[in-house]
């Protein structure tokens, strides 16, 4: 078997093409790399380099070896990552979500959550839920997808309903519910990270304009000093930042949106192997869900 530090030197050399730069990139001296490549040839029992007094280059075999070495190093690092993440998943629970709603609820439940498990929350993008579970990036992922594979399953946790907050003097604000159609051609302030909701509002409201805002506090400010409508959901009642804003004078009226596409069924997905350990927290969330 061949030592990894030699494979790494070879892999770097294949990029830099000189021993000096290889040494620099690895924070060692040139003689170290020289000896390393000599040892590598000795270990392989094969010529890997064409040597001239002032120049060294890979043979064809050397090129192949370098390519293989690069792969092996990558695999080694990926293995370490897999193991660390698996270990982490054994005593902690990382929770991700494709939409912000469940994370708001989790923040609200923070004090009730068990102490022995550490809960982290993060917003996900892309539809790589399966991969992220399989890689132990997360133990629980909330989304509007129900997943069932040989190693993954999902549970229903609740429904999230979109609401729009309208200035009290707008005529739509006097209704008990509203349809997307009735919001057409309006301009809205929207937080950038709202996951799957973004596609929905863009698709369903004709002629609407959206002012996307990255930062949450800036978003709060803009809503305060303007009368643009903005969106919330039935989970927003647990949003502490939003509650602080509400307490100050927000003259908007919250109106539920009645369309089917404004109702999102939320599932939580997880590795079936971990079901037992995750059941309590999933039950807690489902039980705490509004309505």
Q: Which one of 29, 51, 57, 75 is in contact with a second copy (CB under 8 A)?
A: 75
Q: Does 56 bind DNA (CB under 7 A)?
A: yes
Q: What is the DSSP letter of 147?
A: -
* 18 or 274: CB nearest DNA: 18
Q: Does 2 bind DNA (CB under 7 A)?
A: no
Q: Segment 8-27, which members bind DNA (CB under 7 A)? A: 18-21, 27
Q: Does 77 bind a second copy (CB under 8 A)?
A: yes
3-state secondary structure 162-220: EEEEEECCCHHHHCCCECHHHHCCCEEEEECCCCHHHHHHHHHCCCCEEEEECCHHHHH
* 1 or 148: CB nearest DNA: 1
Q: What is the DSSP letter of 115?
A: S
Q: Does 42 bind DNA (CB under 7 A)?
A: no
Residues 6+ apart with CB under 8 A from 200: 162, 261, 262, 264
Q: Which one of 15, 51, 84, 184 is in contact with DNA (CB under 7 A)?
A: 51
Handedness of CA 215, 221, 223, 227 (dihedral sign): negative
Question: What are the distances in angstroms from CA 116 to CA 56, 88, 96, 242, 269?
Answer: 57, 13, 19, 29, 21
Q: At what angle do helices 19-26 and 4-16 cross, to 10 degrees?
A: 120
Q: Does 126 bind DNA (CB under 7 A)?
A: no
Q: Which one of 2, 14, 25, 30 is in contact with DNA (CB under 7 A)?
A: 30
Nearest distance, CB of residue 201 and a second copy, angstroms: 43
Q: Does 81 bind a second copy (CB under 8 A)?
A: no
| Inter-residue contact 156 to 112 (CB < 8 Å) | no
Burial of 96 (0-12, 13-18, 19+ CB in 10 A): buried
Q: Does 116 bind a second copy (CB under 8 A)?
A: no
Q: Does 224 bind DNA (CB under 7 A)?
A: no
Among DNA, a second copy, none, partner that 4 touches (CB below 5 to 8 angstroms by kind): a second copy
Contact residues for DNA, defined by CB under 7 A: 3, 5, 18-21, 27-32, 34-39, 49, 51-56
Contact residues for a second copy, defined by CB under 8 A: 1-5, 8, 44-47, 59-61, 64-65, 68-69, 72-73, 75-77, 79-80, 82-84, 86-87, 90
């Amino acid at each position: 078997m061949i030592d990894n530090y030699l494979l790494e030197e070879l892999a770097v050399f294949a990029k830099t093409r000189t021993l000096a730069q290889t040494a620099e990139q690895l924070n060692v001296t040139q003689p170290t790399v020289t000896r390393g490549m000599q040892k590598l040839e000795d270990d392989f029992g094969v010529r890997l380099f064409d040597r001239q007094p002032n120049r060294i280059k890979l043979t064809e075999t050397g090129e192949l070896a370098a390519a293989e070495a690069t792969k092996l190093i990558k695999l080694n690092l990926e293995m370490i990552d897999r193991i660390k993440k698996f270990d982490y998943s054994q005593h902690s629970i990382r929770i991700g979500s494709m939409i912000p709603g469940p994370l708001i609820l989790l923040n609200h439940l923070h004090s009730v959550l068990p102490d022995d498990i550490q809960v982290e929350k993060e917003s996900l993008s892309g539809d790589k839920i399966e991969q992220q579970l399989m890689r132990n990036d997360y133990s629980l992922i909330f989304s509007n997808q129900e997943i069932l594979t040989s190693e993954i399953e999902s549970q229903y946790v609740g429904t999230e309903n979109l609401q729009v907050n309208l200035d009290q003097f707008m005529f739509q604000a006097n209704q008990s519910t509203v349809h997307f159609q009735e919001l057409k051609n309006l301009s809205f302030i929207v937080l950038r990270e709202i996951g799957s909701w973004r596609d929905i509002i863009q698709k369903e409201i004709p002629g609407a304009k959206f002012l996307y805002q990255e930062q949450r506090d800036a978003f709060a400010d803009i809503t305060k000093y303007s009368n643009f409508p903005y969106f919330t959901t039935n989970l927003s009642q647990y949003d502490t930042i939003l509650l602080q804003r509400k307490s100050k004078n927000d003259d908007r009226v919250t109106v539920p949106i009645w369309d089917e596409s404004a109702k999102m069924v939320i599932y939580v997905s997880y590795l079936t192997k971990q079901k037992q350990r995750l059941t309590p927290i999933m039950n807690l969330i489902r039980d705490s869900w509004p309505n």
